[in-house]
């Protein structure tokens, strides 16, 4: 087995891992990054849309405004120290990225897109990300790491943490060079979520994970989560994910993911199951609806119903809108002059669908959508009536981008055990962690922003490690200075000085 020694080993070379490693290297701490993929590896960061925001607030906004936005999403489900850390640090974290050479640009009219990775992603094609956004960010951070003397070991998969006296002292990995035993003073887990691990998805997210669309790089295996759990780490918020509602055709048509999203159609119209009845609160938006669809016994049994006004209104929202991208990319848009004909096309019971739409329209007209079962909130998205022909339907699927839950950490990225105590020398950052997103048992899924929280807690973990070692080294230096002083006192003292005092003064080796 190959043996390697390094100050810190970082698992994963996405934005969280590279941020951690670059910041460590800046402070003189040697960092080795293990990346399971080979050169040119895929990961969610590389494919990301690129908008830096926190709970849809611009990262440059006042920290108190950001704090209120996070709290509005999470309620009291997220630890206050994590929320406060993210709100207070994101502005400076973004400036740190800029100092590394990362560029941002304003895209679209939404304020939360003022800081979007440049150049922005393309709107068409399977390689919409190549040479853009997250791809350029990873190349930039890799260059910064190498300039600082850090390195990435590609084709290396971490398999087990090495624990000694309840402290993490390294890890074991498999690589193209054979098995490796890596001795390190700290380990930082940054390998993302478990969104591509069907076994873990079945345990925590969906009874039929094979019926979810992997709206991601398909590299989220959950190795870090598994290793941390084996080492006694606490796991939190595992039942939620960030994703969007997609046309069901995306299951076999790659031109229909990651865009266009069906979110705005769903939030304006109604989403029904195979019995033609509503089963979700459409007013909570696409991320929550996607989670609700995934939790169904059959995640491929959902259909969105809407009319001409919605198709030509909310259907045209977003940079890559459902109207007309769904049809132009080969998706199926069902259309009929009346609801009975539409029901026949999509295989729903016409009488039930007519009743569902009638009840919904009456609630919209009467301003009583909150009394529907399930309730239909209107705080975030307007409820549109469904009455103007032609009527439309799209069969749906849940597209999963990353899992929100994971390893429990404190504000410095220290991994916590099941008794909420830090596990010595073990840290985590990014989407491998949980607690700040997801929303616990709340109906609304609390999406905060994966890129932003990955950057903030990557920097915090690196700073905590470097600060702890600086204090240790300063303390060791102080001890050595004390020993030297005592030694001088001892050797110049009168011969009658008791032997026991002489031995107490004798300097110790620096361990």
| 3-state class (DSSP) for residue 510 | coil
Beta strand ranges found along 410-487 (DSSP E): 414-416, 422-428, 433-434
Q: Is the pLDDT of residue 503 over 60?
A: no
Residue 207: both structure tokens together:
């009874």
Pick the residue with more confidence: 495 or 414? Answer: 414
Helix axes 80-99, 63-74, angle to 10 degrees: 130
Asked if 265 and 314 count as a contact pair (C-beta separation under 8 A), the reply is yes
Residues in the chain: 511
Q: Is the pLDDT of residue 233 over 80?
A: yes
Share of the chain above pLDDT 90, in %: 86
Helix axes 133-147, 15-26, angle to 10 degrees: 30
C-alpha pair distances (Å), 483 with each of 51, 266, 403? 55, 72, 52
CA distance 342 to 347: 9
* Cβ within 8 Å of residue 436, ≥6 positions away: 70, 74, 78, 79, 82, 83, 86, 448, 453
Confidence band for 470, pLDDT divided at 50, 70 and 90: confident
Strand partners, 307: 391
Q: Tell me, what's the pLDDT at 493?
A: 45
Q: Is the pLDDT of residue 484 over 60?
A: no
Residue 401's closest CA among 291, 325, 488?
291
Asked if 333 and 325 count as a contact pair (C-beta separation under 8 A), the reply is no
pLDDT, tens digit, for every residue of 15-24?
999 999 999 9
Q: Tell me, what's the pLDDT at 487?
A: 44
Q: Tell me, what's the pLDDT at 472?
A: 60
Q: Tell me, what's the pLDDT at 492?
A: 46
pLDDT, tens digit, for every residue of 438-459?
987 788 899 999 999 999 999 9
Q: Number of helices and strands (H, E) in the chain? A: 15, 21
* Cβ within 8 Å of residue 18, ≥6 positions away: 33, 138, 141, 142, 145, 458
CA distance 370 to 386: 17
Confidence band for 473, pLDDT divided at 50, 70 and 90: low
Looking at the domain covering 241-400, what would its CATH class be? alpha beta
CA distance 285 to 227: 34
Q: Write out 164-216 in H/E/C secondary structure.
A: ECCEEEEEEEEECCEEEEEEEEEEEECCCCCCCCHHHHHHHCCCCHHHCEECC
Residue 205: both structure tokens together:
């997210």
Tell me the pTM: 0.91
Q: Tell me, what's the pLDDT at 498?
A: 36
Asked if 379 and 283 count as a contact pair (C-beta separation under 8 A), the reply is yes
| Whole-number average pLDDT of the chain | 92
Residue 317's closest CA among 355, 274, 264, 353?
264
- List every span in the chain annotated with CATH 3.50.50.60: 2-190+222-239+404-467
Q: Is the pLDDT of residue 506 over 80?
A: no
What's the CA dihedral at 417, 445, 44, 153 to 10 degrees?
0
If you ran DSSP here, which 8-state letter would residue 51 be given?
A: B
Q: Is the pLDDT of residue 7 over 80?
A: yes
Q: Is the pLDDT of residue 464 over 60?
A: yes
What DSSP string describes 288-339?
Answer: HHHHHHHTSSSTT--EEEEEHHHHHTGGG-SSS-HHHHHHHTT---EEESSH
If you ran DSSP here, which 8-state letter would residue 76 be given?
A: T
Helix (H) or strand (E) holding 352: helix 350-366
Tell the burial category of 487 from Cβ atoms under 10 Å away from its Cβ (0-12, 13-18, 19+).
middle
Q: Is the pLDDT of residue 479 over 60?
A: no
Per CATH, the architecture of 2-190+222-239+404-467 is what?
3-Layer(bba) Sandwich (3.50)
CA distance 226 to 203: 13
**What average pLDDT does the segment 89-96 reach?**
98
Task: Tell me the HSE value of 376 on the side-chain side, using a 13 A CA sphere.
Answer: 28
pLDDT, tens digit, for every residue of 178-230?
999 999 999 999 999 999 999 999 999 999 999 999 999 999 999 999 999 99
Q: Tell me, what's the pLDDT at 469?
A: 81
Give me the residue label for tokens 């003397």. Answer: 149
Window from 78-92, 125-139, 460-474 with minimum mean pLDDT: 460-474
Share of the chain above pLDDT 70, in %: 92
């Amino acid at each position: 087995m190959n043996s390697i020694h390094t100050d810190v080993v970082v698992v994963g070379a996405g934005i969280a891992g590279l941020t951690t490693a670059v910041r460590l290297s800046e402070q003189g701490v040697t960092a080795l990054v293990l990346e399971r993929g080979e050169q040119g590896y895929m990961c969610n960061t590389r494919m990301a849309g690129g908008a830096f925001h926190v709970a849809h607030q611009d990262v440059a906004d006042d920290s108190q405004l950001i704090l209120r936005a996070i709290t509005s999403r999470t309620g009291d489900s997220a630890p206050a120290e994590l929320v406060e850390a993210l709100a207070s640090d994101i502005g400076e974290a973004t400036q740190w990225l800029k100092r590394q050479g990362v560029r941002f640009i304003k895209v679209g009219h939404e304020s939360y897109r003022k800081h979007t990775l440049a150049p922005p992603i393309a709107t068409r094609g399977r390689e919409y990300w190549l040479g853009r956004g997250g791809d350029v960010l990873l190349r930039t951070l890799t260059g910064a790491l190498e300039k600082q003397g850090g390195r990435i070991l590609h084709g290396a998969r971490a398999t087990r943490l090495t624990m000694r006296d309840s402290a993490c002292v390294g890890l074991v990995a498999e690589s193209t060079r054979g098995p490796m035993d890596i001795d390190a003073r700290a380990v930082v887990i940054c390998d993302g979520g478990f969104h591509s691990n069907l076994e873990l998805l079945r345990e925590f997210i969906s009874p039929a994970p094979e019926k979810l669309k992997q709206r991601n790089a398909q590299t989220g295996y959950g190795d870090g989560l598994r290793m941390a759990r084996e080492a006694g780490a606490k796991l939190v918020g595992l039942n939620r994910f960030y994703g969007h509602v997609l046309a069901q055709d995306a299951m076999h048509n790659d031109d229909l993911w990651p865009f266009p999203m069906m979110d705005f159609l769903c939030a304006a119209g109604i989403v029904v199951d195979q019995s033609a009845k509503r089963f979700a609160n459409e007013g909570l938006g696409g991320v929550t609806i996607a989670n609700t669809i995934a939790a169904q016994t059959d995640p491929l049994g959902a259909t969105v119903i809407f009319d001409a006004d919605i198709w030509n209104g909310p259907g045209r929202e977003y940079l890559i809108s459902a109207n007309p991208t769904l049809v132009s990319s080969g998706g199926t848009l069902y259309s009929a002059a009346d609801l009975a004909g539409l029901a026949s096309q999509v295989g729903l019971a016409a009488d039930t669908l007519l009743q569902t739409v009638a009840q919904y329209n009456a609630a919209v007209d009467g301003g009583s959508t909150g009394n529907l079962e399930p309730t239909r909130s209107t705080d975030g998205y307007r409820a549109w009536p469904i009455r103007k022909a032609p009527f439309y339907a799209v069969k749906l699927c849940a597209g999963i981008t990353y899992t929100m839950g994971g390893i429990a950490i404190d504000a410095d990225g220290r991994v916590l055990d099941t008794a909420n105590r830090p596990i010595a020398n073990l840290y985590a950052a990014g989407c491998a962690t949980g607690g700040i997103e997801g929303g616990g048992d709340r109906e609304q899924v609390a999406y905060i922003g994966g890129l932003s929280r990955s950057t903030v807690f990557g920097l915090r973990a690196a700073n905590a490690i470097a600060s702890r070692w600086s204090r240790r080294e300063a303390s060791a230096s102080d001890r050595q200075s004390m020993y030297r002083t005592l030694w001088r006192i001892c050797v110049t003292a009168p011969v009658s000085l008791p032997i026991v005092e002489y031995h107490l003064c004798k300097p110790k080796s620096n361990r």
